[in-house]
Structure 1
């Protein structure tokens, strides 16, 4: 028993120990700025410069780990994040918990579910009311084939935050993905039954959408769209998707266009509009929508918009244009291996 307690303590001290000094971190700050703008190669170069300049090792390895995670290089991400945690010298703070969440994400993507679970165990040992940690540990358990333990963690997460409907939807998606559709729907139905007095119209619309009650979802979302103080973009996206779900692309396109007429600064809505136009076979309009989205310079949506624009040109039979755009795309996103393969295909057309 004594040995087990010591082992547990060592896990916590390795995974959850505070970062050191924040002084002298010019290149580190540049690196994290590049991460925010999705310029990952520049971020790595900044962190290399920080290392040469003797800046904080904990933060350098953390930054590199996040870059590798974003680029899908999960082995490298785990190695760097572990090095960051090993270099910690200060007290445990939010940044350390954040690094552990990144580490667990790397393990999940590597399908090393036991290692991911160990990280979540360590977080929960210090934050036993962290509903997000229980939810994520539940996903690791479920992925590993441990349904009962996963479901127990999901139940605990809901008990800790019974009005976090976004989390319940994520739990629904996890259970549904692994074939537990009845349990997934039951969680959402219980949320609707118990929380209808507390939910906003948008939350009711979300739950109704995933329950498959499309007419109810549209009714709640239409109401939410007209409410003051309600963020409109997510409401419009989901409202449009109620049409897409039924193959009613005219309705979805109308919803998206009406929104853009009032607020033409949503790259996400332009992207969704373009996808609907592709499905209708209106490729020229789709290209225009994607280009409008790209012009907004939204770093989070830029990659998807560019790929979708290339797809639209391919459907049009404009392979030379698509190939040229793919070349530009790969100059910005060189780590997209699927795009590399598509580029080879386009070059042969």
Structure 2
């Protein structure tokens, strides 16, 4: 999740450029920048209600909910953002996957993670995080064969990852 510290400012900048003249929307962006997620949530919700920058407002609302660990609400907001025209990027797919994972919908999480990996905006750090999270999802599903196969691929790509070594030890018992 550390990669979001680099990605969220980029999203916020894009949102600001698209939101010129939209006061409540701009307040939402400012609130996100100031890490005042409750205020951001309120402002973006108002922007959605006022039909101002709807797709971007839903995306901002999703980020605000996500940062507050309100994953079910974040997922709904991200889905509404995509329906309203927000491009389904690797970052958005990854955040949606995390929401699915946090709400224990591991099959859908895997699907979103796979979608995220197909996008060019997926950084190397994000790819590594996604691949590890896919392993965890398979473990939660008790799909040991897929978890082991994904871990083997992961260790090949990231041989020095200590978390992977711990997962390998865990999976040896399965």
TM-score by length of 1: 0.38
Report SS of the residue matched to 1:180.
helix
Matches within 5 A, 1:90-169: 96-126=89-119, 130-162=127-159, 165=160, 168-169=161-162
What is the aligned counterpart of 1:63 among 53, 60, 64?
60
Structure number with the bigger relative contact order (C-alpha 8 A, sep ≥ 6) is 2
Once the two structures are superposed, the pairs formed by residues 43-82 of structure 1 within 5 Å of their partners are: 43-82=40-79
Q: Which of 18, 25, 32 lines up with 1:22 in the alignment?
A: 18
CA–CA distance in 1 between the matches of 2:139 and 2:60?
29
The structural deviation recorded for 1:52 is 4.5
Which residue of 136, 156, 170 maps to 1:180? Answer: 170
Larger Rg: 1
Q: For the structure 1 residues 133 and 44, does the alpha-carbon distance in structure 2 shift closer, same or farther, using more than 3 Å as the test?
A: same
Checking the alignment, whether the CA contact within 8 Å between 2:90 and 2:117 is kept in structure 1 is no
**1:161–1:57 Cα change, 3 Å:** farther
The residue matched to 1:123 in structure 2 has which SS? helix
SS at match of 1:84: helix
Contact 2:25-2:47 at 8 Å conserved across structures: yes
Whether the 8 Å contact between 2:58 and 2:77 is mirrored in structure 1 is yes
Distance 1:43-1:150 versus aligned 2 partners, 3 A rule:
same
Distance 1:181 1:36, change over 3 A: farther
CA distance in 2, matches of 1:85, 1:133: 20
C-alpha distance in 2, partners of 1:23/1:29? 6
Contact 1:131–1:156 (8 Å) recurs in 2: no
Give, in whole Å, the separation in 2 of the partners of 1:60 and 1:77.
12
| Shift in CA distance, 182/83, structure 1 to aligned 2, threshold 3 Å | same
Change (3 A) 1:75 1:89: closer
Tell me how large the CA RMSD over aligned residues is: 3.2
Q: Is residue 2:84 matched to residue 1:87?
A: yes
Alpha-carbon distance between aligned partners in 2 of 1:55 and 1:125, rounded to the nearest angstrom: 30
Matching residue of 2:4: none
Tell me if structure 2 keeps the 8 A contact 1:104–1:120.
yes
Q: Give unpaired runs (5+ residues) of structure 2.
A: 1-13
